[in-house]
Structure 1
Amino acid sequence: MKPHYDIPNDLGAIKDRDILEGYSSDPLHVAMPDALVRPQSVEEVSRILSYCHSHGIPVTPCGNQTSLTAAAIADHGILMSSEKLESGWRIHEDPEQPGRWLAYVGAAANLAAFQDSIAAQGFFYPPDPTSREEILVGATVATNASGEDSFKYGSTRRWVRGLQYVRPDGEIRRVMRYADEKGSAHKNTCGYPFRESEVDLLIGCEGTLGVITEVIVEVLPFVPEFVSMFVFFENEGHALWAVGQMAERSSGELRCCEYMDRAALDILVQGADGFQCPETAEAALYLKLEFAGDCQGVLETWLDHLEGIFDHLQSAHLLDAVQAFTDAPAQRMLRHWRHLIPATINERAAQYRDYGGGKVGTDWYVPLNRLTEMFTRVRDDQDGADWVVFGHIGNGHPHFNFIAKDLREYQRDRELLFKHCQLAVELGGGVSGEHGLGKKKSQLLAMQYSERDIQEMVAIKRKYDPQHIMAPGNIFPDSLFK
Structure 2
Amino acid sequence: MSLPDSLLVTLRSHFPEASLATGDAERLAYAYDNSRRNAKPDAVVFPTEHAQVEALVQACRAHQVSVIGRGRGTNTTGATVPVDGGVVVSFERMNRILRIDPDNRFAVVEPGVLNGDLQQALKPHGFFWPPDPSSAPWCSIGGNLACNSAGPRTVKYGSPRENTLGLRAVAGTGDGFRCGTYTSKGATGYDLTRLLIGSEGTLALITEATLKLTPKPTGLRTMRATYRDVGAAARAVARIMAQPVTPCALEFIDDVALKLARDYGGDVVPLAGAMLMVEVDGEPDTLAGAMEAVARAARGDGLEELRIAETVEETQALWSARKALSPAQRTISPNKINEDVVVPVSRLPELVDGIKQLSKKHDVLIVSFGHAGNGNLHVNLLPRDEAERERAHACLAEVFALVIALDGTLSGEHGIGLVKREFMPLALQPSTLQLMRNVKSAFDPDGILNPGKLLP
TM-score normalized with structure 2 length: 0.89
Identity %: 27
The equivalent residue for 1:342 is 326
Aligned residue among 43, 46, 52 for 1:44? 52
SS of alignment partner, residue 381 of structure 1: helix
SS of alignment partner, residue 134 of structure 1: coil
Q: Aligned pair in 2 of structure 1 residues 335, 24: CA closer, same or farther (>3 Å)?
A: farther
Is the 1:130–1:339 Cα contact (8 Å) retained in structure 2? no
**Aligned residue type for 1:79:** V
Aligned residue among 241, 249, 252 for 2:245? 252
Q: Aligned pair in 2 of structure 1 residues 336, 180: CA closer, same or farther (>3 Å)?
A: farther
The alignment yields a C-alpha RMSD, in angstroms, of 2.4
Higher deviation after alignment, 147-156 or 80-89: 80-89
Is the 2:217–2:281 Cα contact (8 Å) retained in structure 1? no
SS of alignment partner, residue 75 of structure 2: coil
Deviations 1:177-208 (A, max 9, x none): 454459xxxxxxxxxxxx93111221111010
Is the 2:95–2:114 Cα contact (8 Å) retained in structure 1? no
Residue 424 (str. 1) matches residue 428 (str. 2): no
Residue 57 (str. 1) matches residue 65 (str. 2): yes
Q: Could you list the runs of 5+ residues in structure 2 that have no partner in the other structure?
A: none
Aligned residue among 74, 90, 99 for 1:81? 90
The equivalent residue for 1:458 is 437
**Aligned residue type for 2:322:** R
Residue 372 (str. 1) matches residue 372 (str. 2): no
Residue 110 (str. 1) matches residue 94 (str. 2): no
Residue 261 (str. 1) matches residue 254 (str. 2): yes
- Aligned-partner Cα distance in 1 for 2:389–2:404: 23
1:222 deviation in Å?
3.9
Aligned residue among 344, 359, 363 for 1:382? 359
**Aligned residue type for 1:20:** R
TM-score normalized with structure 1 length: 0.85
- Aligned-partner Cα distance in 1 for 2:101–2:433: 39
- Aligned-partner Cα distance in 2 for 1:230–1:174: 45
Q: Could you list the runs of 5+ residues in structure 1 that have no partner in the other structure?
A: 94-98, 183-194, 351-357, 478-482
Q: Aligned pair in 2 of structure 1 residues 71, 297: CA closer, same or farther (>3 Å)?
A: same
Residue 14 (str. 1) matches residue 21 (str. 2): yes
SS of alignment partner, residue 113 of structure 2: coil
Aligned residues: 440
- Aligned-partner Cα distance in 2 for 1:153–1:246: 16
**Aligned residue type for 1:124:** F
1:346 deviation in Å?
5.0
Residue 152 (str. 1) matches residue 156 (str. 2): yes
- Aligned-partner Cα distance in 2 for 1:297–1:79: 51
Residue 127 (str. 1) matches residue 131 (str. 2): yes
Deviations 1:25-62 (A, max 9, x none): 22232312222111122121121111101111111111
SS of alignment partner, residue 200 of structure 2: coil
Aligned residue among 220, 233, 238 for 1:226? 220
- Aligned-partner Cα distance in 1 for 2:100–2:68: 30
SS of alignment partner, residue 433 of structure 2: helix
List aligned pairs for 1:60-71, cutoff 5 A: 60-71=68-79
**Aligned residue type for 1:211:** L
Higher deviation after alignment, 26-35 or 61-70: 26-35
Is the 1:164–1:173 Cα contact (8 Å) retained in structure 2? yes
Deviations 1:55-106 (A, max 9, x none): 111111111111010001213111111101132242226xxxxx64111111
- Aligned-partner Cα distance in 1 for 2:290–2:280: 7
